[in-house]
Amino acid sequence: MRIGDSPLAPVFDVLLKPNQWERRLQAVAKETGELSSWGKFRLEFWEYYLDRFPDEGEFGPATATSNRWRTIVERELVISSYIGQHEVGLF
């Protein structure tokens, strides 16, 4: 897609987004302060990851989120590593 004289840019379509069940789980977790079993798994995964690759720790501690963002300033690059229930990835 191009707007006016701008450079060409990609157009992204949303394929999946959180459903009400997932949103409710997140709300309950915030209310109770407890992690779901999946949240515990993600936290343990990122803790193991940081133990294995300690240099990644400079970009923040392990959390129960599904992904970690890393900015490489000198290359103007952002890398996201993620873990899903049925997949893992890097982009």
Predicted pLDDT at 91 = 85
- Which position has the higher pLDDT, 18 or 83? 83
Q: Which residues pair with 71 in a beta bridge?
A: 78
Q: What is the mean pLDDT of residues 60-87?
A: 85
pTM of the model: 0.57
Q: Residues near 50 by Cβ (< 8 Å), separated by ≥ 6?
A: 56, 57, 61, 62
For residue 17, give both structure tokens. Answer: 């987004």
Query: Does position 86 have pLDDT exceeding 80, yes or no?
Result: yes
- Give 14-61 pLDDT, tens digit per residue: 776 666 766 776 777 777 777 778 888 888 988 998 899 888 777 778
